[in-house]
Chain A
Amino acid sequence: MLLQLAWRNLWRHRRRTWLTIAAIAFSAALLVFMITIQLGAYDMMLESALRTYTGQMQIQRAGYLDKPQMRTSIAAAQALAEHLRARVPEASVAVRANGFALASSGTRTYGVPVVGVEPEHEPGVSTIPALITAGSYFSGPAAQEALIGATLARNLRVGVGDELTLLGTGRDGSIAAAVLPIVGVFASGNPELDRNLVQLPLETFQEIYAMGDHAHAIVVSGPSLDAIERLEARVAAALPESADGLVLLDWERLVPGVRQLIDADMVQSWFVYVVLIVVVTFSILNTFLMSVLERTREFGIMLALGATPLRIGALVLLESALLTAIGLAIGVALGGAIAGYFRVVGFTFPGMKEIYAQFGLPGVITPQLSFATLTLGPAVIFAFTLAAALYPALRIRRLRPVEAMRAA
């Protein structure tokens, strides 16, 4: 009975009701769209941060992350990587060894990190092999070749075919030295990597740095970010008993800065969302208040007929709840449809694809559609509007039947 009454009351002012529904629907749609795009953008950011070089997770010897020392290494790293490839076929697995060297072109010298990579597996975990701007990638796992970042090449004044002299310290403390021809120059778009990094084929690195079969990291990446946790569990389970003293570190441990960046951005966006929600709430409050104030006479009669203030209050609340629910339903459908459309075609704006192409990334945001991203924003709007509707509903308790009926 109450519901029926509320429903009828709602449509006594068709135009006003529709306008309010439109306001709610618009803000809900906007919120849904913004949240799905925002989370999609985070995924892209993360993807770019991880796919360039770091990978989704790494296996290292415990303690290496905090204090990377040559001797804190993984024995028989390539055998372990093969084992993982067999047990977790959906993952890309690549071994890396890290060192340091004075890289000299004869006239100029820079101290740089040197990394040994597996040429046949590295493309699965890093975009660098695909971002060669001059020359080519390594010709084999033991090729006597070096790959260097574009900025470093410029600083050293070297190009493809020139010799690079490396002088460092090996795993056994002996002096590591090599002269290698530069086979390729890469531009990853990450200034840090382009300015510093020298890559060698893993076996070449192991020989120069007296590493034996040791390495420092086994990089593991899966096809999608959504499945990271499942992949992490799979990899952890696939680690053999002999992997004692090794740890599996996910990206949050490897690059904690990315998570902090996302969290900071999240706080900032929520500030914007809350402002949006508050503005919407006040406009709805206005509608509710109007509809109560103009119906003082009607409420007076209802009270005189024996309706309790509680019942009338409930009626008013129900009216607002219905109104908001209709608005939100339309909004979610609309916002979800827009997000769904962009999920299929990809959200981008002019120039974005070109910028991201430099980093070897698609440059398309895929909105993240899930129950949470669709309903979180609208749920907050619903809570705010109900809180707003409480005020007019509570005013009814102050009405005196006789005075109310005489009101104009």
Chain B
Amino acid sequence: MHLKNRRILGAALFFVVCTASAATSSKAEVDASAIVKAAIDYWRDTSSYSVARMTIHRPDWERQMTIRVWTRGEEQSLVRVVAPPKDAGNATLLVGNEMWSYNPRINRVVKIPSSMMNQSWMGSDFTNNDLAKADDLLDQYTHTLLATEVRDGHKVYVIEARPKPEAPVVWGREVVAIRDDWILLEHAFYDQADRLVKRLTTHDIAPLGGKLIAARQRMQQAESPEEWTELRVLQAEFGVDIPASTFTLANLRNPR
């Protein structure tokens, strides 16, 4: 029964996609990529500074961290932990696909090896890759518009991203839902066997730093409902002037 429904739904979707692509020839595919690019550009802007609270939830415990994030262009990010005091000063620098971690207690910078990029970032449900390789969604995937829905008066594009054959990616496919004002509503990750592994969902959309952004997002593990990480943006600024020297190993180690 369930399966049958899904099949009908699949057939319907297929029909929609077919007619859509028949009507606009290859334009649908171009559009899907453009929408993903627009969403990433909107989220990252030319540069940004934000303060966020990260809540890591587990069945028997919960923990909060406050972080400050600087980004510049699509390649450079710096994350610094402000609270709790025990972890304050820990920082992560991302330049391109490379990643370094700094710990003040031992005063050492450790480069994260590529084999560790799928490990959890600071114990959360985000992996290092989720932070470092957000742009891969654009470069390493082909995009197909699965559906166009209307939610809360907005048009929402549901886009499937499949990795290109030679892409160094662990996921089988990803499905994103992007609102017509380029806010990411949902990002689901499927493994090679097409099982849902985790899903990022946007819970609050609020005006921060002069524009509407996803102010509260939650990364949820599909197999265990009690395991999630929530990221709540407390403060944000976009298009601010951030010097290039912010994103250097020297600054990672000795913040100005």
Contact = CB atoms under 8 A, between A and B. Distances in A.
Contacts, number: 55
A102 B120 CA distance: 12
A174 B87 contact: yes
Contacts of B86: 174-175
A110 interface: yes
A165 B103 CA distance: 10
A175 B110 contact: no
A135 interface: no
B61 A173 contact: yes
A75 interface: no
Contacts of A165: 106, 108, 110
A177 interface: yes
A179 B60 contact: no
Interface string A170-185: 0011110111000000
A102 B108 contact: no
A359 B101 CA distance: 37
A102 B87 contact: no
A110 B119 CA distance: 12
Contact of A169 (B108, B111, B113, B122): B122
A109 B106 contact: no
A175 B108 contact: no
Contact of B108 (A110, A172, A173, A177): A177
A104 B110 contact: yes
B63 A175 contact: no
Given A102-B110, A169-B122, A175 B116 contact: no
Contacts of B56: 173
A110 B115 CA distance: 8
Contacts of A178: 106
A191 interface: no
Interface string B54-77: 001010110100000000000000
Interface string B103-130: 1011010111101100110110000000
Contacts of A71: 58, 60-61
A169 B123 contact: yes
B110 A167 contact: yes
B90 interface: yes
A109 B108 contact: no
Given A174-B86, A177-B103, A177-B105, A109 B110 contact: yes
Nearest to B84: A174
B106 A175 contact: no
A175 B81 CA distance: 11
B48 to A, nearest CB: 24
B120 to A, nearest CB: 8
Contacts of B110: 102, 104, 109, 165, 167
Name the 6 nearest CB pairs between A and B, nearest first: A177-B103, A169-B123, A173-B63, A104-B110, A111-B116, A179-B106
Interface of B: 56, 58, 60-61, 63, 81, 84, 86-87, 90, 101, 103, 105-106, 108, 110-113, 115-116, 119-120, 122-123
22 contacts: A102-B101, A102-B113, A104-B108, A104-B111, A109-B110, A109-B112, A109-B113, A110-B113, A111-B115, A111-B116, A167-B106, A167-B110, A169-B122, A172-B61, A174-B84, A174-B86, A175-B86, A175-B90, A175-B103, A175-B122, A177-B103, A177-B105
Given A109-B110, A109-B112, 13 more contacts: A71-B61, A102-B112, A104-B108, A110-B113, A111-B113, A165-B106, A167-B106, A167-B108, A172-B61, A173-B56, A175-B103, A175-B122, A177-B108
